[in-house]
Structure 1
């Protein structure tokens, strides 16, 4: 089926908008297709780029940890991004597929880092350079890499709302009582997004007329008992997000996350929403938690995939349905979930 997709990527920042971008034509089985992934080391083999391209996505979304630099040396960070851009499979995919995304801690520059990272302003510019964001974009002047992109097809519309869970994130709490790394902050203490980004997100959701609203979070939103980084370490921020989504009446809100070196589907019902909230975690691209033996997740649907994989979302606007797929090497479908909206 020939699919003509008119793509409009728009950044909302205090009333500023970027101009319309190109029109493209692609062939695929769905009305619109997103491919995404995270946790990618440029110096390890990535066997998935040909599979990403074969999935015929309308956009590739980096979910964070694009590279592993862990540095405040911008020369080193720039070199690492440049090396990733020269990876043959990625370069080939990128020549045909638009690329957007966010960062996580290892490309941000500080393991488990947040608001305290001294080089975050310079690191932001390097990420935007890697993503080919124009020098005159308002994103170059704002604090944080959050943005939104809006895609209009002949059948319907998708908004991709890219969050920044690093730039404003305040202190996390070490767990000194169990064998877990972290425990939740005292309710009400700290923030993941920071107030300016929260206000921006509220506006994005309240003003959205899109059929689907895909929210990119580098860390998991629903899974909250594993003791690593997640929204659950800030339980009041989870409640705020849930209330925001419900109050906004935005259609088809979906969360995509990474970070964990595993892939899994999580799902919950939120009061005031007439569809469930799904958090699709896809990680990692070049290295996975191969020794994974289980962990609690009260929201999990299906099985955890602990081999290298990427995520695909196939949208059917007529049916109001999304097919979520965990994809492995050779086009293997490692997990699948269908959801009507």
Structure 2
């Protein structure tokens, strides 16, 4: 298994599914590989685990909805996590690849839930059990499952900042427009991350010397017009995140997200950043929005993928490029993006 990393800023290009830069083989690219995904039912066959291993990853990142519990009983959630750990394909991944990640609403325990969820403390502990954390891990004694992970290779360093968009998130604003569930609330009111997590994130980015900084959010950050859960329901929080990234001076910041049962690339030119801010959404692993017929996203690059898939990021430190791929069953590349940083 590979053990390496990379950084990048300046331009991007979306490529057709099978095209590659001249003279490069798909297998040869990259010094460090991240795989990630979300929206996984433990009792539905996941045909992608062998493809995850075939991508030769250095880490697997759960983007949330690892199981579909939707219960306030942590014991029931724990039983589903135990069943997930026994899924043969996932067991094979656990034996070969480090696993980190966050939760979303269905493994949190409450659909579209946030700060109001009464069983979040117990839910947090069984989630941390699922990740295999020691009893003295700091996340055992604090609110929220956010965490920082560093991967150091001779060629460079990657920092992965896993956010918790559930534990502190305040109430959503019901939509007035037919066909939508939520709409942006009053600017300046409400929060996605809460004060403590915001302070932590600002410090992590400000003090990072990593070549790439990957932020994992269970819900989308950039896409905000679909009327479901998104950071865009708290527009001031999006502005704060972008300002935090700019002010920190952190290199090669990338956002990974899930939740939507579709996969897509979103990209935004942020004042003060020398590279576009990319939000790579990968969802879902066992079930998708198969009847998808279109929705607006002013930041979208390329086409929406509504097939079961997972995300791959291949980092090359010497050329300072990242290859983003949406990968389906049998390793089919359903969408890809190259970004120079």
Root-mean-square deviation over aligned CA pairs: 1.2
The answer to whether the Cα contact below 8 Å between 1:221 and 1:257 also exists between their aligned partners in 2 is yes
Question: Which ranges in structure 1 are unaligned for 5 or more consecutive residues?
Answer: 7-26
The answer to whether the Cα contact below 8 Å between 1:28 and 1:56 also exists between their aligned partners in 2 is no
Match of 2:200 in 1: 200
Matches of 1:84 and 1:302, distance apart in 2? 33
Shift, 1:229, TM fit: 0.0
**CA deviation string 1:104-144 (max 9, x = no partner):** 00000000000000000110000000000111111100100
TM-score w.r.t. length of structure 2: 0.92
Shift, 1:5, TM fit: 4.8
Shift, 1:178, TM fit: 2.5
Match of 2:286 in 1: 286
The answer to whether the Cα contact below 8 Å between 2:309 and 2:328 also exists between their aligned partners in 1 is yes
Matches of 1:176 and 1:336, distance apart in 2? 36
The answer to whether the Cα contact below 8 Å between 2:261 and 2:289 also exists between their aligned partners in 1 is yes
Match of 1:15 in 2: none
Matches of 2:336 and 2:178, distance apart in 1? 34
TM-score w.r.t. length of structure 1: 0.92
The answer to whether the Cα contact below 8 Å between 2:53 and 2:93 also exists between their aligned partners in 1 is yes
- Residue correspondence of structure 1 range 27-38 to structure 2 within 5 A: 29-38=29-38
Match of 1:223 in 2: 223
The count of residues paired between Structure 1 and Structure 2 equals 320
**CA deviation string 1:211-232 (max 9, x = no partner):** 0000000000000000000000
The answer to whether the Cα contact below 8 Å between 1:3 and 1:28 also exists between their aligned partners in 2 is no
Q: Which has the higher contact order (CA 8 A, sep 6+)?
A: 2
- Residue correspondence of structure 1 range 231-310 to structure 2 within 5 A: 231-310=231-310
Matches of 1:120 and 1:326, distance apart in 2? 32
Q: In structure 1, the residue corresponding to 2:339 is in which secondary structure? A: strand
Q: In structure 2, the residue corresponding to 1:326 is in which secondary structure? A: strand
**CA deviation string 1:139-174 (max 9, x = no partner):** 100100000000011111100000000000000011
Match of 2:163 in 1: 163
The answer to whether the Cα contact below 8 Å between 1:46 and 1:285 also exists between their aligned partners in 2 is yes
The answer to whether the Cα contact below 8 Å between 1:36 and 1:311 also exists between their aligned partners in 2 is yes
Q: Which consecutive segments of 4 or more residues in structure 1 shift more than 6 A?
A: none
Alignment partner of 1:86 is 2:99:
no
Alignment partner of 1:141 is 2:159:
no
